[in-house]
Amino acid sequence: MLRVLRWTAGVAAALLVAGCGGGGSGGGSGGGPDEAKGTSPAGRPGEASATAVPSAADPPSSLTSQRLQWRRCGAAEDSAAPGDEWRCATLKAPLDWSKPGGATIGLALIRARATGDHRIGSLVFNFGGPGGSGVSTMPYYGALASELRERYDLVSFDPRGVGASEGVRCRGDRDTEAAEAVDATPDDPAEEKAYFQDAADFGKGCERAAGRLLAHLSTTDTARDMDLLRHVLGDRTMHYFGISYGTELGGVYAHLFPRRVGRMILDAVVDPTADTVGHAKNQARGFQRALEDYLRSTGQDPERGTRRIAALLKSIDARPLPTASGRKLTQTLALTGIILPLYSEAGWPRLTEALKSAGQGDGSRLLALADQYNERKSSGRYGTRSHAQRAISCLDDKQRPTLARTKRLLPEFERISPVFGDYLGWDTAGWCHDWPVAGQYDTPRVSAPGAAPILLVGNTGDPATPYEGARRMADELGEGVGVELTWKGEGHGAYGNGSDCVDSTVNAYLLDGTVPRDGKVCS
């Protein structure tokens, strides 16, 4: 299965340079806001009341009064151990937020304390996915956010079902590698049967592995976990930096707890008005736009270049390419290898090399890129980021497009993108096919009346979350809440991606509370 990952451009660039993993996309919320009365997180009188979902009771004092035990972090998978400035801890959270006094799960945290004398509080990061590990990513991203660390404790976490927070693994490595032979754009009834059987088998594997946790991995659950984290950290308001899928999580948090929103940055903004099919169309447009920008940068005509790449993929579908490893480059793996370098302009030279080699009959370079995206090590071991991504997004997404509807939509997807349209069109039917848990919503609720201004950063060349999403998020958050900043750039995300204008505007907002003019453009 192929669903395009929503992940920060800085991390994607690191994957391309260092050869680490990458992996999966998704798109929560429950009922409308309701003022919940109670004491402040640290027992201080006079704090503004919070907003909560009516069906979710406030967590018991056994959770809100817990003391985090910060210790030196161990080595993270696929990376060296974090430096001495980083400490890790575990937060206890309810398994089921409708029964907050019941069973608990452990959520892995990481933090580096503020280095300056004028500390504002904690700044909590989510780097996207869903399924991305904040614990393994935060030390890398912390280098980009060094100026912010002067006044904030930099904090991140593995959301429930991810990494060290009860991480979900739905199938083993051998089955994962075998599944790579399944055609993600079926051409006949036999391939259709294999495609949907693989989807059903994956869901059954998730159900066996996760058990009752599978019904409690939603974005709404994680937003409530975040407010518990805010409470336990002792912060009156939530200062938050959400990237890619993390912008949807931030929007859901703002909807549930608008009076607790502090300074919130949403970078590479997910369109909250798009349903399952709408997200797939958005990403088809976004990646096609990024591909055309890449082709122009190499002096190629975008239309002719697109036709050449589409023809290459079609030929690989009929005859997979050999590679130096002895494995075959299938059409699905080739497409995956094309997708990864479009996340960051820094990856474009590698895309040129990989396409040239594939055109000469050698699939090794595209396979290497696909393996990075799929978190495959040379040993044959695979990461589980895409497992968590699928478990979270299929619990969030209520829609389950049928095969018949997907086939009706395919011509439109192919018109949007001759390269990516077919894959993303089929994905709408296959991703959550026969999923063992019902989805929760068509589109997330993110309206946040009364929240402090939230800065939304959109990038005109963003492939995974096209920049139009920032305006739509601003409209949904409500008048006076969403403030839009546009960067005319390339890659997924804007902060730390080479624009002094973006970085200085974001830093001024987070460090000084300076809200820019709505509609500001950085070029």
* Residue 492 a catalytic site member: yes
Q: What's the rounded Cα separation, in Å, for the pair 441 and 461?
A: 29
* Partners of residue 44 on adjacent β-strands: none
Task: Look at the chain and count its residues.
Answer: 523
* Cβ-based neighbours of 13, under 8 Å, separated by 6 or more: 343, 344, 346, 347, 491
Q: What's the rounded Cα separation, in Å, for the pair 335 and 332?
A: 5
Q: Which of 518, 427, 433 is nearest to 470 (CA)?
A: 518
* Residue 462 a catalytic site member: yes
Per annotation, catalytic residue among 387, 492, 499, 503: 492
* Residue 79 a catalytic site member: no
CA angle 304, 373, 140 (to 5 degrees): 120
Instruction: Judge whether 470 and 119 are in contact, CB under 8 Å.
Output: no
Q: What's the rounded Cα separation, in Å, for the pair 293 and 367?
A: 23
Tokens of 283: 């990403």
CA angle 490, 495, 500 (to 5 degrees): 85
Q: Which of 137, 123, 160 is nearest to 76 (CA)?
A: 137
Q: What's the rounded Cα separation, in Å, for the pair 215 and 160?
A: 11
Q: In whole angstroms, how large is the CA radius of gyration of the chain?
A: 22
Q: What's the rounded Cα separation, in Å, for the pair 169 and 355?
A: 32
Is residue 187 helix, strand or coil? coil
Per annotation, catalytic residue among 244, 344, 357, 499: 244
In 100-249, where do the E strands start and end? 104-112, 121-126, 128-129, 152-157, 238-243
Please state, as a whole number, how many other Cβ atoms lie within 10 Å of the Cβ of residue 356.
11
Q: Which helix (H) or strand (E) holds 134?
A: helix 134-144
Please state, as a whole number, how many other Cβ atoms lie within 10 Å of the Cβ of residue 46.
6
- What one-character DSSP code corresponds to residue 162? B
Q: What's the rounded Cα separation, in Å, for the pair 213 and 441?
A: 18
Q: Which helix (H) or strand (E) holds 139?
A: helix 134-144
Q: What's the rounded Cα separation, in Å, for the pair 26 and 128?
A: 9
| Amino acid identity, position 74 | G
DSSP string, 233-286: HT-SSEEEEEETHHHHHHHHHHHH-GGGEEEEEEES---TT--HHHHHHHHHHH
Per annotation, catalytic residue among 183, 462, 499, 503: 462
Is residue 228 helix, strand or coil? helix
Please state, as a whole number, how many other Cβ atoms lie within 10 Å of the Cβ of residue 355.
22
- What one-character DSSP code corresponds to residue 517? P
Q: What's the rounded Cα separation, in Å, for the pair 18 and 352?
A: 18
The catalytic residues are 244, 462, 492
